[in-house]
């Protein structure tokens, strides 16, 4: 009811205020911001890729890898879908359609994503490329929905929650969320796991963690931040932990199941680890990796931007050079990840900080012989707490707009390169 105090306007009893209904309820729900971000980013990114693929000027310069045949596509399918099978996408499609093989080292790719592509592709009359794009897109939308809800829990602010989504959507490698890659599925599973963890739904959180460890090898690392959050919610008291702590043991089951499959199919439970050598990844000490990355970045920095007399700087930036996909950028993105994780240590819950630092370790201990920090810009994409940090640092509108604009411009460059079959991350 409304009451009146001296000198004060009517005070509304919010407990009895009518809840919004109909269209107002929909607009006020947690569905609208993620859906708006998803639709905007998908239209912009997919349209840009289609324009690049359809351009005769660009198409003439495209060099397609021939390690195995690509699906046969109509011109319209090539325009709308062709980009999203590039690079690792072809491997996921190969696994989905023909399974793992002994001699092609595809066992390095974890199975949940290609299994889902296979199941959806069978429903779509064996159009597995379309199935992969649909699966990735839906998983990205699910990731946005859960990330928005999780950000609402952390910030208690719709504005900062929306800013978090925008930073994710304009991150330079966010186009991978539409590709036949496992990034979107992994993001959805990990964000949902943390969301249910914060809501104290331990079974759901750990089951999602199990699925994440069946999607990527780094999913196994979730057991540490989830354990930290468990004790955080109990004041870090080690006395008499609840029996529900045992649910954490569900998380490694995903990787364990894959190891069992490796044993029966290839005679070695760790065949997926041994296959990493074929992909030029070997064990190294973190400081050796950083030193190697630094040395190679310095060498690359001394290479002229325009290496061919007929090349313009713009053409070099977009295609012929490795300015935006080489040693320097990999090192810069890794430094960005470390910097944001350090800032997050003072702003985020301990579980998020642990999640960030733990996931920055694999590129250091398993570097690539091609580039020590190969694919770091893509690995950073799924470390969602960095976007919490960016949102919290971007409270100044000018800084926020400048940062988002810069990231978006780099996203455009990366999409153009990826659509043209040039390596990005």
Kindly report, residue by residue over 150-184, the tens digit of the pLDDT: 999 999 899 999 999 999 999 999 999 999 999 99
pLDDT of residue 57: 57
11, β-bridge pairs: 3
Out of 263-272, 317-326, 404-413, least confident range? 317-326
pLDDT of residue 6: 42
| In the predicted structure, residue 361 carries a pLDDT above the cut 80 | yes
Out of 80-89, 115-124, 163-172, 219-228, least confident range? 80-89
| In the predicted structure, residue 4 carries a pLDDT above the cut 50 | no
Q: Which of 235, 276, 294 is nearest to 368 (CA)?
A: 276
pLDDT of residue 267: 94
d(CA 298, CA 323): 12
Place of tokens 């430094």: 335
Can you read off the two tokens belonging to residue 265? Answer: 């199919």
43's CB contacts (< 8 A; 6+ apart) are none
Q: Are strands 2-4 and 10-12 parallel, antiparallel or unpaired?
A: antiparallel
Out of 28-37, 208-217, 347-356, least confident range? 28-37
Most confident among 21-35, 87-101, 131-145, 390-404 (mean pLDDT): 131-145
- With cut-offs at 50, 70 and 90, classify the pLDDT of residue 311: low
d(CA 261, CA 255): 10
């Amino acid at each position: 009811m409304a009451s009146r105090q001296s000198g004060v306007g009517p005070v509304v009893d919010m407990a009895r205020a009518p809840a919004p209904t109909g269209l107002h309820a929909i607009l006020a729900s947690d569905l609208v911001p993620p859906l708006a971000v998803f639709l905007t980013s998908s239209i912009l990114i997919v349209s840009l890729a289609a324009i690049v693929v359809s351009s005769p000027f660009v198409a003439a310069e495209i060099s397609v890898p021939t390690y195995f045949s690509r699906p046969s596509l109509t011109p319209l399918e090539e325009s709308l879908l062709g980009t999203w099978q590039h690079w690792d996408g072809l491997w996921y499609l190969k696994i989905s359609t023909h399974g793992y093989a002994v001699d092609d080292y595809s066992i390095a790719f974890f199975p949940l994503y290609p299994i889902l592509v296979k199941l959806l592709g069978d429903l779509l009359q064996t159009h597995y490329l379309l199935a992969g794009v649909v699966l990735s897109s839906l998983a990205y939308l699910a990731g946005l929905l859960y990330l928005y809800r999780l950000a609402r829990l952390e910030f208690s602010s719709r504005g900062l929650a929306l800013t978090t989504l925008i930073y994710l959507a304009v991150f330079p490698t966010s186009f991978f969320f539409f590709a036949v890659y496992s990034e979107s599925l992994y993001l959805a599973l990990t964000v949902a796991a943390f969301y249910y963890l914060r809501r104290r739904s331990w079974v759901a959180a750990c089951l999602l963690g199990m699925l994440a460890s069946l999607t990527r090898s780094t999913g196994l690392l979730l057991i540490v931040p989830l354990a930290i959050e468990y004790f955080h919610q109990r004041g870090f008291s080690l006395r008499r932990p609840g029996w529900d702590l045992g649910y954490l043991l569900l998380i490694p089951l995903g990787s364990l199941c894959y190891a069992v499959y490796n044993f029966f199919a290839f005679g070695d439970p760790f065949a997926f680890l041994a296959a990493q050598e074929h992909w030029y990844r070997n064990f190294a000490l973190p400081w050796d990796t950083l030193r190697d990355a630094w040395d190679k970045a310095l060498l690359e920095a001394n290479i002229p931007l325009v290496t061919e007399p007929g090349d313009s700087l713009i053409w070099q930036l977009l295609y012929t050079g490795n300015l935006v996909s080489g040693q320097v950028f990999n090192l810069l993105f890794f430094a960005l990840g470390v910097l944001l994780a350090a800032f997050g240590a003072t702003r985020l819950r301990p579980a998020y900080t642990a999640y960030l630092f733990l996931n920055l370790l694999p590129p250091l201990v398993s570097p690539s012989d091609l580039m020590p920090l190969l694919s770091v810009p893509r690995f950073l994409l799924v470390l969602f707490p960095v976007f919490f940090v960016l949102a919290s640092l971007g409270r100044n509108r000018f800084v926020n707009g400048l940062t988002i604009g810069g990231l978006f411009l780099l996203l455009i460059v990366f999409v153009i390169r990826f659509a043209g079959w040039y390596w990005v991350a």
